[in-house]
Structure 1
Amino acid sequence: MPTTAPHGTWRSPVTARHAAAHDGRPDWVAAVGDETWWTEPRPAEEGRITLVRRRADGTTAPLLPAPWNVRSRVIEYGGTPWTALPATADRGPVAVFTHFADQRLHRFEPDTPGATPQPLTPESGHPARLRWADPVAAPDGTEIWCVREAFHGPGPTDVRRSLVAVPLDGSAADDPSAVRELLADRHFVTGPRVSPDGRRVAWIGWEHPAMPWDGTELRIADITADGTLSRPRTVAGGPEQAVCQAEWLDDRTLAAATDPGGWWNLHRIDADTGETVNLRPAEEEFGGPLWRIGLRWFAVLPDGRIATVHGRADLRLGILDPADGTLADVSGPWTEWAATLDARGGRITAVGAGPARGWEVVEIDPDDLTARVVGHPHTDPVDPAHLPAPTARTFTGLDGREVHANLYPPRNPDFTAPPGELPPYVVFAHGGPTSRTPMVLDLEIAYFTSRGIGVVEVNYGGSTGHGREYRNRLRGQWGVVDVEDCATAARALAAEGTADPLRLAIRGGSAGGWTTAASLTGTDLYRCGAIRYPVLDLTGWSSGGETHDFESRYLDSLIGPLPEAADRYRDRSPVTHADRLTVPFLLLQGLDDVICPPSQAQRLVDRAAERGVPHSYLTFPGEGHGFRRADTIITALEAELALYTQAFTPGR
């Protein structure tokens, strides 16, 4: 018989340590000859990212030991951090990767006895002033072509990005002039995609103040006989059209995910004429926001078919035939697929997850669509009966607008609540804000739901996955629409008798931290809030130089251009309205965060302390934007639970 106990007091086998051990997911998958390689997080090893290889015989092992950390800092959020040259008759495979600590490109031959990674690029200083991402092998095989990010001044926007060629012989490690600059024609660029015949190259570029989900250009150039680029030109995109990925279908034709009709659909583009054909017109997304350089929502198979993620509330994986527009989906327990796909070697490799299944590396046969797990297999750390059973919900918000959310009710077979007691609920506001929260197994959520605290993840207006019109709702309305939509979900759950209206909380990180703080200062709905590495002062974050180059003009669209919108920047900022804080809050901050720096958090804490508002401020040396280390994740999660326990206890 289950034990009767109030919600929020249930004993659970899901620990913070479980959540920390399962934090992150495999990423950046690719076939290397007859092997499959991918990156994988190691929270217990200071949060480093390792490179894993699966050999043809099915054995799997890390390719790089500690302390090697395969992670790029280009645009701070990073990008594709590695590539590989398959084995030849003379040598084994060669890995080329960015090491997080020094941001240099390194070469490593894992099958050579005694080999260690050797630098290919010059020393970059501290903090790293040279960064590299999205590498590919050059047509002649003697160079790596990639994006270089080079800082030339003290400010965060004193930076130049270009397509460059890095020699594989290591000569540029001590001679910076050995790196050839191929092209620098836009402030932001993705890595090059070389045509099958080696005669042309394609990439995506854009300029401030646009973000890559607002407007980008698909650019191509000719590769000359001496390996330089000539005649750069635009073949698709524009100020209100965002190309998020492009790959070559053949020597003269590109496939691109772009949204001239308001949805990221797949298009065929003639590189000579620019003629564009939508391969499958649909009100669903075949792409997403380009938060990291080199994300891949689709991959071209050798026969011309396209493996692609697609959908709205979730992202399925299917095979699209460009000849007739037919689309066949992969079946199985995976209802969400990440933006990392590979289609070399006659097989598709992807990363998928589901509501009851963590992220796994999956191999799919493109002909019969059978799938099997080949890496990072899911295992249940506890009895699955203690894990949440989520449902998708759509609420009606202000002006009748739809608000999409994922609902995770409390679940624990060992406990039941007293008759008539409604559970407390925490609203999870995702980061971005141009992003989305998929419905997949997350042990951080299970940590709360198994203790009798419900969770609702809100994909508020501005989120991706529902077309340009839905994500454009946040233009000029950040701090308004996101706050209203989160409140809509919370109030609806209370009104229908799902949640206790007197025990509601909100939490979020980065832009979600902003929404949390704005909700606490702008509404009286919540009993408490957990704020993680937030934006809190818009003026400091934009014109005050308190963020990085990539997002330094983001607020032009989210709030309005300066100086015209200066009053709005001040009036929307939670630090301006710290006097409205009346409920307890927890603030969690990485001290190495250059995206949302500690100075912003400190200002809110100081003003709350002046007014005697109950709060706790925890800082974490060595952590940046987002927590990666197991000990940090454990401390943060346990502190958050303590906040809810205190705030939700009657009489407090």
Structure 2
Amino acid sequence: AVGADGTGLRPLTHGGLYLFTPRFAADGASVVFCGAELDKNNNSCATASYGLWSVPVDPADGDPARPAVPRRLTGDAHHLSFASQMIQPAADGVYFASDHRGAVNLVLVPYDGGEPRPVVTGRRQVNGYAVAESDEGTTVVAVVASATSAGDLVVWRDGTERVLTPYGAELAERAHLLPMEEFTAYAPDGYPLHAWVVRPEGPGPHPVIFQVKGGPYTQWGYTLNGPAAFDEAQVYARAGYAVVLGNPRGCSGYGQAHGAYVRDDLPRRSATDLLAILDTALDASDLDGDRVGVMGGSFGGYMAAWFNAHHGERFRAMIGERGLYAIDSYAATSDDGADLAVSLYGPDRARWAEQSPLTYVDRMSTPMLLIQSEEDRHCPPEQAQRLFTELKVRGVPVEMLLFPGEGHDMSRTGLPSHRLARFEAVLEWWERHL
């Protein structure tokens, strides 16, 4: 905190937290923010829930050298949504967009840390919002995505909900969207895993695309856009493929323990859950278990390469997009590699090699397409270049598609011409191999 004239600069927190989005509470007596605790080495954990915290503005005992102790207001079940990344203080609490089993709920968290009150819930995702309070009542306006809308503007007032934009209705009328079908899979230890399949029309048996999400601490969910990527599921299903998606342990939306499960061995534990989801989907008679491909971006690309080395016999082909394949060079070249390498894979450099797909390139034999963006600062091109070169010199069928002027989120936010070109390349690859 600092005075408006630049005087009195002093800390409000005492360290030990990875924190962001600080906002003054409505009464100005405290500051609320989101974050997670650091470990004993001041490292963050990439599968920790970003909860809501509060800290008094006034120092402890009136001593500026002694910041007050922050207090977490939300429990393990709440994690600030990747889609929203915002909070808004109000008179009675703080509005907070929370991942929850594929949905993003808008909740009101009391300043005393009591049970959050649901504001916007259901099988949809709140991707942005604003709140206005007056003597006449409270108005909430939000951009809400769902399985039938990439985002509509919705307003709530006096207990009523009103959709202000026609985008979802227009899309449903024009695009003939295929339904998302939920199912539950069980890991070998009996743990339930939440998943979906989007089927093409017709009787089958359909070739299968197993789509692994990024993150890992994100979630597939009820939306056509953003991290959930169901726009992709619709495109591939319309082309004749059954698309399988699921949230293994290590993702957000299912509580802290769900995310923490993979910390000791991210690729192997993730692979076990993911294959359990795929196997359950393949129990359906209209899905062809002999024609299966796997694809994913970022962490999904990492897992596609891991599958090539360790479970290649399960798949006809792979697509790895904007992936991490070698932790050592990733730590040196990524925009947050030095932190993320430790927070995801631990401080032991020997274990970095053990968890890097590139270490096992001599076991890879399944055809692989690598998609990369030239300006990706998060998973830089060198990651794909290293894997491409190693596969090429070993005679493994491999191709690389490099997009100029694009960053890590090209498939979601890139030039429309690039996104169309990417879809065409992906569909051409699957037509050849599935």
Bin the TM-score by the shorter chain.
0.7 to 0.9
Match of 1:175 in 2: none
Structure 2: 5+ residue runs without aligned partners? 225-229
Percent identity over the alignment is 23
Match of 1:356 in 2: 148
Q: 1:200 to 1:404 in 2, by over 3 A?
A: closer
C-alpha distance in structure 2 between counterparts of 1:327 and 1:203, whole Å:
18
C-alpha distance in structure 2 between counterparts of 1:503 and 1:364, whole Å:
47
Equivalent residue letter for 1:493: A
Q: 1:166 to 1:613 in 2, by over 3 A?
A: farther
* Cα shift at 1:610: 0.7
* Cα shift at 1:640: 0.6
Deviation string for 1:35-58 (max 9, x for gaps)? xxxxxxxxxxxxxxxxxxxxxxxx
Matches within 5 A, 1:615-626: 615-626=398-409
* Cα shift at 1:518: 0.7
Q: Secondary structure at the match of 1:343?
A: strand
* Cα shift at 1:516: 1.2
Conserved in 2, the CA contact under 8 Å of 1:306 and 1:321?
Answer: no
Which TM-score applies when normalising by structure 1? 0.56
* Cα shift at 1:356: 1.9
Equivalent residue letter for 1:374: L
Match of 1:403 in 2: 193
Q: 1:611 to 1:307 in 2, by over 3 A?
A: closer
Q: 1:382 to 1:390 in 2, by over 3 A?
A: closer
Match of 2:321 in 1: 532
* Cα shift at 1:236: 1.8
Match of 1:481 in 2: 269
Equivalent residue letter for 1:428: Q
Q: 1:407 to 1:569 in 2, by over 3 A?
A: same
Match of 2:287 in 1: 499
Match of 1:460 in 2: 248
C-alpha distance in structure 1 between counterparts of 2:118 and 2:354, whole Å:
50
Conserved in 2, the CA contact under 8 Å of 1:221 and 1:231?
Answer: no
Equivalent residue letter for 1:210: S
Matches within 5 A, 1:171-570: 183=11, 186=15, 188-204=18-34, 207=38, 208-211=42-45, 214=48, 218=53, 220-222=55-57, 231-237=66-72, 256-259=73-76, 263-264=77-78, 287-288=79-80, 294-296=85-87, 299=88, 301-302=90-91, 311-317=100-106, 335-338=123-126, 340-345=128-133, 346-365=138-157, 367-368=158-159, 370-374=160-164, 377-381=167-171, 383=173, 386-411=176-201, 416=202, 421-441=204-224, 442-523=230-311, 524-542=313-331, 545-549=332-336, 552-563=338-349, 566=350, 568-570=351-353
Q: Secondary structure at the match of 2:333?
A: coil
Match of 2:415 in 1: 629
* Cα shift at 1:468: 1.4
Conserved in 2, the CA contact under 8 Å of 1:547 and 1:596?
Answer: yes
* Cα shift at 1:556: 3.5
Conserved in 2, the CA contact under 8 Å of 1:423 and 1:452?
Answer: yes
Equivalent residue letter for 1:607: E
Deviation string for 1:411-461 (max 9, x for gaps)? 3xxxx35xxx41011111111101111022333211111121011112111
* Cα shift at 1:319: 6.7
* Cα shift at 1:477: 1.8
Conserved in 2, the CA contact under 8 Å of 1:463 and 1:470?
Answer: yes
Which structure dedicates a bigger proportion of its chain to helix? 2
Q: Is 1:640 matched up with 2:426?
A: yes
Conserved in 2, the CA contact under 8 Å of 1:302 and 1:344?
Answer: no
* Cα shift at 1:192: 2.8
Q: Secondary structure at the match of 1:211?
A: coil
Match of 1:81 in 2: none
Conserved in 2, the CA contact under 8 Å of 1:352 and 1:359?
Answer: yes
Q: 1:382 to 1:195 in 2, by over 3 A?
A: closer
* Cα shift at 1:363: 1.2
C-alpha distance in structure 2 between counterparts of 1:437 and 1:473, whole Å:
18
* Cα shift at 1:292: 8.3
Structure 1: 5+ residue runs without aligned partners? 1-162, 168-177, 238-255, 265-286
CA RMSD of aligned residues (A): 3.4
Equivalent residue letter for 1:402: P
Conserved in 2, the CA contact under 8 Å of 1:335 and 1:352?
Answer: no
Q: Figure out how many residues of one structure are paired with residues of the other and give that number.
A: 409
Q: Secondary structure at the match of 1:403?
A: strand
Conserved in 1, the CA contact under 8 Å of 2:196 and 2:246?
Answer: yes
Which TM-score applies when normalising by structure 2? 0.82
Match of 2:227 in 1: none
Larger radius of gyration: 1
C-alpha distance in structure 1 between counterparts of 2:301 and 2:362, whole Å:
18
* Cα shift at 1:494: 2.2
C-alpha distance in structure 1 between counterparts of 2:9 and 2:433, whole Å:
57
Deviation string for 1:89-120 (max 9, x for gaps)? xxxxxxxxxxxxxxxxxxxxxxxxxxxxxxxx
Match of 1:140 in 2: none
Equivalent residue letter for 1:484: T
C-alpha distance in structure 2 between counterparts of 1:482 and 1:343, whole Å:
38
* Cα shift at 1:647: 0.4
Equivalent residue letter for 1:295: M
Deviation string for 1:316-355 (max 9, x for gaps)? 4567899996956658xx6222353332242012221222
* Cα shift at 1:203: 3.6
Conserved in 1, the CA contact under 8 Å of 2:212 and 2:245?
Answer: yes
Deviation string for 1:463-503 (max 9, x for gaps)? 11111121111112211122222222222222332421111
Conserved in 2, the CA contact under 8 Å of 1:584 and 1:615?
Answer: yes
Conserved in 2, the CA contact under 8 Å of 1:428 and 1:457?
Answer: yes
C-alpha distance in structure 2 between counterparts of 1:630 and 1:645, whole Å:
22
Conserved in 2, the CA contact under 8 Å of 1:351 and 1:359?
Answer: yes
Conserved in 1, the CA contact under 8 Å of 2:25 and 2:89?
Answer: no
C-alpha distance in structure 1 between counterparts of 2:220 and 2:197, whole Å:
11
Q: 1:355 to 1:196 in 2, by over 3 A?
A: closer
Q: Secondary structure at the match of 1:479?
A: helix
C-alpha distance in structure 2 between counterparts of 1:427 and 1:180, whole Å:
56
Equivalent residue letter for 1:547: S
C-alpha distance in structure 1 between counterparts of 2:57 and 2:324, whole Å:
42
Q: Secondary structure at the match of 2:400?
A: strand
